[in-house]
Structures are given as C-alpha cells and as structure tokens.
C-alpha cells in the first residue's frame, strides 16, 4: 500500500468550488464507504473544513488510486473531471506524509498556526474510524499527524499571532467598524448563527474580544442554549433570527446548512451590519452583496486579507519539527514493509523443517517420541540461528532510505507470496492515540 493525498484548498480553489466539494456530516460516511469501495483504494480519511477538502488514502497504485478518488470527487461535486483537475493538488508517499504533518501543525492554514485544524483533523479521523475506512496505515498517519500538531503548538510560538480563522475575520471586521482597532469592538452587539464547532469557536473568540451583548441562534435550540450558558451569552430562538440581526452590529454565520440562510432581503432589513460568513457552503446568498451598510466577509475574502503571520523563526521551528517527524515516520514505514516478508520467510523455514520431520518419522519409525522431539528442537534451533542475523540486519537496512528494495529482494529470492493486504494489515503501532 502507498499513501496518497488528493485535495483542494483556499490556495487552489475559489469558495464556489470548495462549496461543491465540501461534505456535510450526514453525507461523509456515505462517501467514505464509496471511496473505500473503489478498486485501488484500501483505506481512506476525508478532511472537509471551511477552506479545504482533502482525501487521504492508502492505495495499491498511484494512477489507479488517483483516478478512483478523482472520479468520486467529480461525481459528488458535479464538477467535470477536467475542470476539477485544475483545482486539485496531489501528494504521494513521502510528500503525502509531509503535507499531512504540515496541515496538522497549522503551516498550511489560511491563518498560519491556528489550532482549530487539529480538532477538525481529529473529527475526520474519528469519522473514518466510525465508518471503518481507516486501516492500520492511516491510523498511524493520523495519530502521528495529530501528535505533530500538538508538538508544534506546545514547543513553539506558532499560534501566538493568529489563533483561528475567527480571529482573522474579526480583525477584518475591526477595519470596517473601528478603523482596525480590535479593542474598539468591545461592547458591540453580536450574533452567532450556528452552534457547531465553528460556532462555538466564534463565541469563544468574540467573548475574549469583549464583544457583546452576545446572542446565539441555531436550528437546534438545545445546542444554542448550552453554548450560551457556557459563555454567559443569550440563546435566541431561530424563528427570531430577523429580530436578532436587526439588533446586531456583527454577525458570525457558521452553520452546516446546504442552502444560504442569509438572503438579500434579510440582510438589507438588518443594515448596518458586518457579516462574517465562515460557512462552506456559504451562509450568505451569492446575490446578497453590494447592499448599502452591509459588509460581507467570507472565506475567500479572508484568503486575500490574511494578517498576523507568525515570525519567521517560529515558522522555521515548526518546519524543523515536521521534517524530523516525517523522517521518523518514513523510517517506521519502511521497516513496517519488511515485517510481513520476514514473517513469511520464517514461516517458510518452519514449513521446511516440519516437512523434513515428517519424512524422518516415516523413514525411522523406531525413533522414540523423546528422540523425535530432540531432533525437532535441534532443527528449529539451527534454523533460528541461521535466520537471526540476516533478519535483524534486513530490518535495519529496510528502515534506511531506499530500504523498500530489501523486502522485494527477499520475496524474489525465496519466492515468498506476501499479499498486499497482509503487508498493509501487519503494520505495528509506534505511538498512542493522539
């Protein structure tokens, strides 16, 4: 099995394209099973956030796996294969490992160093686990990526400049409302639409900024009430959304709705207003722009308005962590590839010994049970001693760059049949759950 990452992000696609590619929580399990049912895809994890959609897969062939994944993405999004290809990036094996670690560390985020991606990656991993589409290879990749992300935040100052996409959006809102002075937003009435992960992050960020009074609304009232209670905010029934909009200066909309929740008429009636649309698909209708007194800031706008980038030294420190962890993971991966081959070699040796013992028993029936046992122990000791040094050494060599050739060489020399599925499932664990 080989690792493959196929994705699109704010760097390669506009919001309209990301909206079509994005997976709702209800749709995700279906697509996961569809992907893992493809001919060349053995394992899969899908990361779908407000500014990226990525498929991490263990595949039996690069071109076949890429074709399978692109076909599923094209079918899901309704985007033609040629058009979709222009927005996709592809990472294979070592590059896929490096990309996943950089994503987890926040180096590839719109706001470099933001920690929210860790929770999103964890959710993606858990979704794949629940759908039974993550095998041993992706279990290890995801666990190690999450550990790398934690290291980046614990050991460097990567997250000091920009905490999240919400922070960046609030800074842009400050330009519109207070000449860029973030502290001047304190005391401004605000509304958060949506009580999911992004909504909760928005409430926490607005609370820290002193924005308020703060209201929260959600189609499911119970979640809004729990979130409001946790932050001293006020839960508003979703049916009273228009009234809450009219009483707000700042609105953060982050629902998982399939269709826009804020249309032109609704926003025009609530002006003046600054709307931070952090949802994908967008919560603000495409035609709800150019309204007097209403400023809409969406993910696409944030991509061109990024501020508060971490210092070069902090970014370099995280890159060093990523590089070291990539080397460690690849060494383990190369070593893991040899394990089923060594096991197959030992099994072949045991089979040969067993066959010879059966022949001896038929030729020398006068041997006692004790004598046969002693011969058996002697033969096994000889085989074990002969195999010990070569198998230890081949494991060491396999962990070095280019080490994958040793597993193939052993299989060729001893005519060993090691199915790909066995090689993939024999991967040993090298770390705890992140």
Burial class (CB in 10 A: 0-12, 13-18, 19+), 92: middle
- Are 19 and 260 in contact by the 8 Å Cβ rule? The answer is no
- Are 416 and 343 in contact by the 8 Å Cβ rule? The answer is no
301: preceding bond cis by omega (within 30 degrees): no
Cα 300 to its chain centre, rounded Å, is 21
H helix or E strand, kind and range, residue 214: strand 214-217
* Interhelix angle 116-130/94-105, nearest 10 degrees: 130
CA–CA distances in Å: residue 12 to residues 53, 119, 346: 11, 23, 49
Read off the tokens for 75.
């079918």
- Which residue, 428, 409, 419, 422, is CA-closest to 333? 428
Read off the tokens for 140.
């290890």
CA–CA distances in Å: residue 255 to residues 174, 233, 260, 417: 22, 18, 9, 51
Burial class (CB in 10 A: 0-12, 13-18, 19+), 165: buried
- Which residue, 108, 315, 248, 414, is CA-closest to 233? 248
Catalytic residue among 8, 32, 50, 131: 50
Q: Is 70 tagged catalytic?
A: no
CA–CA distances in Å: residue 151 to residues 138, 165, 331: 20, 21, 19
Residues designated catalytic: 50
């Amino acid at each position: 099995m080989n690792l493959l990452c196929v994705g699109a992000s704010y760097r390669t696609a506009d919001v309209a394209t990301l909206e079509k590619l994005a997976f709702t929580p209800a749709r995700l399990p279906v697509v996961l099973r569809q992907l893992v049912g493809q001919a060349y895809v053995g394992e899969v994890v899908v990361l779908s956030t407000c500014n990226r959609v990525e498929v991490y897969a263990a595949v039996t062939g690069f071109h076949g796996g890429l074709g399978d994944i692109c076909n599923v993405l094209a079918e899901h999004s309704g985007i033609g294969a040629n058009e979709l290809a222009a927005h996709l990036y592809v990472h294979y094996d070592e590059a896929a490992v490096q990309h996943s670690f950089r994503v987890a560390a926040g180096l590839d985020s719109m706001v470099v160093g933001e920690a929210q991606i860790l929770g999103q990656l964890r959710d993606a991993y858990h979704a794949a686990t629940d759908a039974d589409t993550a095998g041993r290879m992706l279990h290890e990749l995801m666990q190690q990526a999450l550990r790398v992300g934690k290291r980046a935040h614990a050991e460097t100052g990567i997250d000091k400049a920009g905490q999240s996409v919400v922070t960046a959006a609030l800074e842009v809102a400050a330009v519109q409302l207070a000449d860029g002075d973030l502290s001047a937003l304190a005391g401004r009435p605000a509304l958060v639409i949506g009580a999911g992960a992004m909504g909760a992050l928005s409430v926490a960020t607005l609370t820290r900024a002193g924005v308020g009074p703060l209201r929260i609304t959600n189609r499911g009232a119970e979640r809004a009430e729990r979130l409001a209670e946790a932050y001293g905010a006020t839960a508003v029934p979703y049916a009273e959304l228009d009234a809450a909009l009219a009483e707000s200066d700042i609105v953060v909309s982050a629902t998982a709705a399939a269709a826009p929740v804020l249309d032109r008429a609704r926003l025009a009636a609530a002006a003046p207003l600054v709307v931070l649309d952090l949802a994908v698909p967008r919560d603000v209708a495409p035609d709800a722009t150019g309204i007097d007194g209403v400023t809409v800031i969406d993910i696409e706008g944030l991509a061109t308005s990024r501020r508060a980038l971490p210092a070069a030294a902090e970014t370099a420190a995280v890159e060093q962590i990523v590089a070291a962890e990539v080397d460690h993971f690849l060494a383990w991966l190369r070593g893991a590839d040899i394990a089923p081959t060594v096991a197959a070699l030992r099994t072949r040796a045991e089979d040969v010994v067993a066959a010879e013992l059966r022949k001896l028993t038929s030729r020398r029936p006068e041997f006692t049970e004790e004598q046969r046992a002693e011969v058996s122990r002697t033969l096994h000791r000889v085989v074990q001693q002969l195999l010990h040094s070569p198998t230890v050494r081949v494991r060491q060599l396999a962990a070095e760059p280019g080490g994958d050739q040793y597993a193939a060489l052993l299989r060729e020399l001893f005519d060993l049949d090691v199915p790909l599925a066995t090689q993939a499932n024999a991967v040993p664990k090298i770390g705890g759950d992140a």
